[in-house]
């Protein structure tokens, strides 16, 4: 016989809010939320009152006023008569340039160093250890300034390239010049150019896009797509017959040949930097500030990435390599099919924080005079207009958006390599 009984009714006591595990976490959250809202309300109220006393108002009208300062390294056209908004845009692009260049370089160097640190070659392993310890134990600001100083102090001035008894000479068949004002490299020119498309007329957000570049990207994209199709076909052949056809030359060819044909059709040639008077002209000028910032951020972050990669590979037990080897898989295949898919899952999450660190550290650009978003919007614009609150809030918002975008992309990637276990 079963009897129907009510579960024992418990008297609710106020102390249960703190001591009962069922309510405890809710209580803590409610208290924290109330405290946070009170603090935020006080801060906003305080700020608004003080600004009123100073006669300031929150106003973004200053963006339309002329910036009247110069920016020497820029991706879009800009003069000091342009607005603060355009200056901020130029700064934002500069931040993105150094962040993207930095993340790519740091990943390449970091992965290489991380793998080499595990090398059986004593010398290589030690050298990599020294590199890692040197870079991650010194503040990145010092590395930026140090690299900048080295370039200014040790590289020849452009005038040294001049005359019959020049003390310096250009490298790589007179195509690259390393000077104390920066590096001059060849630029891509098209003698039968398709021209540009202009966006946003003459406004502060105007920019041009080269049709040559678009054509190049389209042809490259189509090539990569075709190459991917060839790979898929090879996969299918392997599934059906077991034999994988050799396709690498087809895959390389289908990407390269159309691109080369396009470049020839557009009359692609390189414009070399040339000494004119006291300075170089032509080619692309990479300023010292960009190079110092890029190198220092990349090498510094690469040291951390190297450790992450090494830890990721070490986290996969030796038993995995042995089991795969015992089945007859060669070392390269073992790495690609067994070790890396498992290591990536350990590597990617900390890699995200390194990308975020690099992006935020790029605001140290101000130390070498590279005009990034902090140097323009958060530097000269802020000082000239006195709109501290607006500028800083906007800066924070911009960095937040960049960081969240990086996290978003990387989390999506992480999801796709994640270990499906349960």
Q: How many CB atoms lie within 10 A of CB 100?
A: 13
Whether the CB-CB separation of 179 and 157 falls below 8 Å is answered with: yes
Under rule CB under 8 A, residue 232 binds another protein:
no
Only segment of 261-269, 271-279, 289-297, 333-341 that touches another protein (CB under 8 A): 333-341
Report the SS3 class of residue 391. helix
**Nearest Cα to Cα of residue 99 among 384, 239, 293, 286:** 293
Taking the least distance from each CB to another protein, the nearer of 415 and 421 is 421
Contact between residue 88 and residue 376 where contact means Cβ atoms under 8 Å apart:
yes
Smallest distance from another protein to CB 297, Å: 33
Task: For residue 173, state whether it binds another protein (rule: CB under 8 A).
Answer: no
Query: Applying CB under 8 A, does 233 fall inside the site for another protein?
Result: no
Using the rule CB under 8 A, is 341 a contact of another protein?
yes
Distance CA 333, CA 336 (A): 5
Q: By C-beta, is 136 or 345 nearer to another protein?
A: 345
Give the count of beta carbons closer than 10 Å to the beta carbon of residue 289.
25
Instruction: Give yes or no for residue 422 binding another protein (CB under 8 A).
Output: yes
Interface with another protein, residue 327, by CB under 8 A: yes
Q: What whole-number distance in Å separates Cα of residue 185 and Cα of residue 283?
A: 5
Q: Which of 36-44, 121-129, 172-180, 323-331 is the region at the interface with another protein (rule: CB under 8 A)? A: 323-331
> Under the criterion CB under 8 A, does residue 328 sit at the interface with another protein?
yes
Count of chain residues binding another protein (CB under 8 A): 29
**Interaction between residue 342 and another protein (CB under 8 A):** yes
Q: What does the alpha-carbon distance between residue 1 and residue 199 come to, in Å, rounded to a whole number?
A: 84
Beta strand spans in 196-348 (E) = 196-199, 207-210, 268-271, 274-276, 279-281, 284-287
Say if CB 143 and CB 300 are below 8 A apart: yes
One residue of 243, 249, 415, 416 binding another protein per CB under 8 A: 243
CB of 227 to another protein, least distance (A): 22
Contact residues: another protein, CB under 8 A: 238-244, 317, 319-320, 322-330, 333, 337-338, 341-342, 345, 419-422
């Amino acid at each position: 016989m079963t009897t129907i009984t009510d579960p024992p009714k418990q008297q609710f006591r106020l102390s249960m809010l703190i001591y009962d595990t069922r309510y405890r976490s809710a209580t803590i959250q409610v208290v924290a939320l109330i405290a946070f809202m009170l603090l935020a309300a006080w801060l906003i109220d305080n700020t608004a009152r003080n600004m009123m006393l100073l006669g300031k108002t929150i106003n973004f009208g200053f963006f339309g006023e002329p910036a009247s300062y110069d920016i020497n390294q820029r991706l879009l056209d800009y003069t000091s008569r342009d607005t603060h908004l355009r200056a901020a845009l130029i700064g934002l692009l500069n931040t993105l340039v150094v962040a993207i260049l930095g993340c790519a370089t740091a990943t390449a160097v970091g992965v290489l160093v991380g793998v080499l640190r595990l090398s059986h070659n004593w010398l290589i392993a030690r050298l990599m250890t020294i590199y890692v310890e040197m870079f991650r134990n010194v503040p990145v600001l010092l590395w930026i300034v140090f690299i900048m100083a080295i370039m200014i102090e040790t590289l020849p001035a452009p005038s040294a390239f001049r005359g019959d008894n020049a003390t310096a000479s250009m490298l790589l068949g007179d195509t690259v010049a390393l000077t104390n004002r920066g590096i001059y490299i060849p630029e891509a020119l098209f003698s039968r150019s398709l021209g540009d498309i202009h966006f946003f007329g003459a406004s502060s957000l105007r920019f041009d896009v080269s049709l040559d570049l678009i054509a190049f990207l389209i042809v490259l994209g189509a090539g990569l797509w075709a190459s991917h199709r060839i790979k898929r076909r090879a996969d299918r052949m392997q599934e059906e017959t077991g034999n994988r056809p050799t396709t690498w030359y087809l895959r390389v060819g289908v990407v390269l040949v159309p691109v080369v044909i396009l470049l020839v059709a557009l009359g692609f040639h390189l414009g070399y930097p040339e000494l004119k008077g006291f300075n170089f002209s032509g080619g692309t000028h990479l300023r010292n500030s960009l190079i110092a910032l890029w190198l220092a951020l990349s090498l510094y972050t690469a040291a951390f990435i190297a450790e992450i990669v090494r830890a990721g590979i070490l986290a996969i037990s030796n038993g995995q390599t042995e089991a795969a080897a015992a089945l007859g898989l060669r070392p390269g295949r073992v790495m690609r099919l067994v070790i890396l898919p498992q290591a990536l899952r350990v590597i990617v999450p900390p890699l995200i924080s390194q990308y975020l660190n690099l992006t935020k550290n790029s605001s140290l650009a101000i130390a070498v005079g590279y005009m990034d978003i902090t140097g323009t919007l958060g530097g000269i614009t802020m000082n000239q207009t006195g709109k501290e609150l607006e500028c800083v809030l906007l800066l924070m918002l911009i960095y937040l958006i960049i960081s969240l975008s990086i996290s978003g992309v990387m989390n999506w990637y992480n999801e796709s390599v994640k270990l499906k276990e349960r």
